Amino acid sequence: MSHSTKDVTTKALLVLPHLRVQNANAISSPLTHGFPSITAFTGLMWALQRKLTAAGLPLKLRQVGVICHHHEEQLTDGYVKTFRLTRNPVDKDGATAAIVEEGHIHLELTVMFQLTVPASQLLASGAGSTADQRAQMSEWAARVAEIVACMRIAGGTLLPTGSMPGRRTRAWMEPISEDEEAQALVFARWRYQWLPGYALVGRDDLLAERHRTMRDALPDATLLDAWLDAARFNFKPVPGDPSKSTPGNSKAEKQRWADPSKQKGDGWTVPIPVGYAALTKPLPAGAVANTRDASTPCVFVESVYSFGQWISPHRLNHVQEILWRPETDAAIGLYRCLSGYVHAGSATTLAGDDIPDFD
């Protein structure tokens, strides 16, 4: 009896360190700004996957992670900050063209991809020993870096990155061990290469917790109400400490104001878009005029929002915590990104190995 077996694959991490991105899109959704949406990086992953396939590289990108080392949003200073806008050339009639508001940001990023490569490809390339396999992965990483250098990240242009004292600026790729203890040891060495910087991780549990808290006072509160409440500063007068007041002191105690929902040690949490929800059923290719791709079905969507957190890499314990994976549910029209980070005490769990193929 003969049967077919699936080719064994090797997991690896591909890291593109300290990428300098100029004029990336700072408007991540209709309600948020300040850093590109995580969907911009999943889009980069898909675009890169097409180029890798065209170049004949046997790498299958599965997940993506991003670490921000430096950011400079292009704003004008003042009591009310506004984006620095550009004056466009005159139109065909010689009149002044309308100014379309655009938000730009300069970034220094480390972008990483969790990928798989068939073991047969490693053997076919002559990489038999562990040293040969690492050499082959280094060659692939260099080729990927050359391809990415000609691409855009979140609409921004990549600038050349020279050598930096004490920093690893060349792309590198290393296998991910199947043993969890070995993974933890290797990740402990990797994460210190990404300092100083902050990794963007998902915190869906914060939104659920805020929703439960709001419903205690407002039973009709929705998830959108909870998101809007958590996305702003809600300063309220805080009662003074009676133990600190002294009898006979005529001087009134200064009134303190604080946000009771944001306590010290809660971390750097931010509202973020994490995907899209369909407003219509998929329309046939070419049915909608002026689309970018007339050969692909079109769907009208709106943004899906959640909460994220910026965490220093040295506070993470596993490479999976830093990665995001795209998930599509065509039945309900949901296209969103899921984070592998699970906060201690959270009931949220993700199937890290249930990763779709993007062939």
Q: Give the residue from 324, 326, 329 showing the smallest Cα distance to 308.
A: 324
Amino acid at the residue 72: E
* Two tokens, residue 261: 């929902």
* Higher per-residue pLDDT: 236 or 327: 327
- Which residues, in sequence order, are CB contacts of 178 under 8 Å at separation 6+? 11
**CA gap 195, 312 in Å, rounded:** 8
Band of pLDDT at residue 82, cut at 50, 70 and 90: confident
37: helix, strand or coil: coil
* Higher per-residue pLDDT: 133 or 344: 133
**CA gap 159, 287 in Å, rounded:** 38
217: helix, strand or coil: helix
pLDDT one-digit tens code per residue, 53-67: 999 999 999 999 999
Amino acid at the residue 36: P
> Which of 12-16, 21-25, 80-84 is the least confident region?
80-84
* Higher per-residue pLDDT: 346 or 316: 316
Query: Is the alpha carbon torsion for 98, 103, 108, 112 positive or negative?
Result: negative
**CA gap 42, 67 in Å, rounded:** 14
Residue 337 has pLDDT above 90, yes or no: yes
| Beta strands at 156-159 and 152-153: parallel, antiparallel or unpaired | antiparallel
pLDDT one-digit tens code per residue, 198-219: 999 999 988 888 889 888 888 8
pLDDT one-digit tens code per residue, 174-192: 988 888 888 888 999 899 8
Tokens 């050499």, located at residue: 135
* Higher per-residue pLDDT: 277 or 253: 277
Question: In the prediction, which pLDDT does 154 show?
Answer: 93
Band of pLDDT at residue 293, cut at 50, 70 and 90: confident
**Angle CA 302–28–199, to nearest 5:** 120
**Where are the extended beta strands (E) located within the chain?**
9-25, 60-73, 75-76, 82-83, 104-118, 152-153, 156-159, 172-175, 198-202, 236-238, 256-258, 268-278, 301-311, 324-329, 334-339
Q: Per residue in 126-155, is it b (16+ CB within 10 Å) or e — as a string?
A: ebeeeeebeebbeebbebbbeebeeebbbe
Band of pLDDT at residue 123, cut at 50, 70 and 90: low
**CA gap 264, 273 in Å, rounded:** 25
List phi, psi (to 5°) of 66: -140, 140
The average pLDDT across 290-301 equals 88
Residue 172 has pLDDT above 90, yes or no: yes
Question: In the prediction, which pLDDT does 127 show?
Answer: 55
Mean pLDDT of the chain: 84
